[in-house]
Structure 1
Amino acid sequence: MAAGPARLTDLAWPDLTARRPLVLLPLGSFEQHGPHLPLDTDTAVAGAVAERAAARLGAEVDVLVAPAQPYGASGEHEGFPGTVSIGHDALRLLVTETGRSLLRWAGRLLVVNGHGGNVVSLADAVTGLRGESRDAAWWPCLPPGPAANTDAHAGRTETSLMLRLRPSAVRGERAAAGPTDPVHLLMDRLVAESVRGVSPSGVLGDPAGAGASEGERLLDRMADRLAADIRAWRVSARGRLGLPDRQPVTARTGDGR
């Protein structure tokens, strides 16, 4: 195995005939992230965490990183232009059929999820795959730190991550704070009014103080945790790799999207 992450896109089919690799599938979203962050923020973070974890595992585990899936269930953000949501039913089917096909030749599948709104459908799909005796799991990119509940979307954490990953895409001059109340206190309004009704800018949190060095630390800590969870490979009843299920609090719209 190479020292860096091994990417599925770099291989031809004969390269896989004698292997049963673990495949990491980054899953993100294509949705608004305030006026200052790019629409593919969740996808970029999931891909970076997957590649860093794969590089850490090196020769310990035969691991490949698949191309990221950029579309997820983002109905709560559809009040903003640029958002593309495939909805929960389509996401559940997408993960199910991707897993069935991929696990014909791969040994294990781990979906590295970068968007909290995907979790319910993702867990359903992975649980279904496991019920078919396929070794699949999912893992959430949850940045460490107690501020996550008041920094839920396009705040300091995600701004720091993108300043590290793609600084040219961060429009710092547009960054502004949105509501910083704990998400659970906003949940009734988020469900009833969607994100646009709660935060006209789309930000839930405050980007102030974000920096690339903080983003680097957050990426490293997530990648370290992911690599450790892969080594242990303990999967919960809902298909979650690692710690017991901790479903992120997310807004769900009434149309099932």
Structure 2
Amino acid sequence: MTDDTATELARAAWPDVPSDALVLLPIGSTEQHGPHLPLDTDSVIAQAVARRTATHLPDALVAPTLPYGASGEHAGFPGTVSIGHEALRAVLVESVRSLSLWAARIVLVNGHGGNTATLGATVRLLRAEGHDVAWTDCSAPGGDAHAGRTETSVMLHLAPEHVRLSAAVTGDTRPLSALLPELMAHGVRAVSPSGVLGDPTGATATEGRTTVDAMVATAVRRISAWGVDDRGRLIEPAHRAVRP
């Protein structure tokens, strides 16, 4: 498989699906990303990382992106659609159980930080059932938290036609660790009326390409090594898995 479309499960006919397929399932969200980025930002990023990762792996297919996640912290903004942790867990459990009837391995490629608690608990359960499944994320080390320079740069690379730089504003620039207690208690709007956690100033498509390339390289490296921690998360090969 040499291009993005060749790896898309939705476009395959069933006789073309490899018997030992590796399936990447992008998990995104539909939530506010400030006044300048689209609501599907997390889904766009997860899908792009999954598609580009699949081109580097044999017999890899990318399932249709799950566009809803656990985004309750963004509920104060119109446009946000959150299905919550319980519903997300049910969707992931049934999706993986179904995929496991024919797929050899499954990787959930997560684009939204609010999904991680559900992913950890859910994948741990699924692995206990005997499914060969793990998850990885699309995080950028050193990046800002939400709709800041990091995500804005990535979207300028992936979907520039949907970025409104003229509407971009600086939000709360404190580290996520400092913001988290208030975010958990009162939601994003109480911390940042614009919905931005970070500063989009200086974002560029070039920086976005570099970030996406790093995300893809990390995903390929982790999937190839297949080291899994006790939360079902793929880890770096240098930190070998507790349960390979």
Q: TM-score surpassing 0.5?
A: yes
Structure 2: gaps (5+ residues): 240-244
2:3 corresponds to: 4
Structure 1: gaps (5+ residues): 245-257
Shift of 1:188: 2.1
CA distance in 2, matches of 1:8, 1:208: 37
2:242 corresponds to: none
How do residues 27-42 of structure 1 correspond to structure 2 at under 5 angstroms? 27-42=27-42
- What secondary structure is seen at the aligned counterpart in 2 of 1:81? coil
CA distance in 2, matches of 1:192, 1:132: 34
Which segment is superposed worse, 187-196 or 175-184?
187-196
CA distance in 2, matches of 1:192, 1:89: 19
How do residues 1-257 of structure 1 correspond to structure 2 at under 5 angstroms? 2-5=1-4, 6-16=7-17, 19-57=19-57, 61-144=58-141, 146=142, 148=143, 151-243=144-236
Runs of 4+ in 1 over 2 A off after TM superposition: none
- Quote the RMSD (CA, aligned, Å): 1.1
Which segment is superposed worse, 107-116 or 121-130?
121-130
* Greater relative contact order structure (CA < 8 Å, 6+ sep): 1
Instruction: Output the TM-score relative to the length of structure 1.
Output: 0.89
Deviations 1:204-226 (A, max 9, x none): 00000000000000000110111
CA distance in 1, matches of 2:183, 2:16: 48
CA distance in 1, matches of 2:54, 2:192: 37
Instruction: Output the TM-score relative to the length of structure 2.
Output: 0.94
- % identical equivalent positions: 56
Shift of 1:192: 2.1
Shift of 1:235: 1.0
CA distance in 1, matches of 2:202, 2:12: 41
- What secondary structure is seen at the aligned counterpart in 2 of 1:34? coil
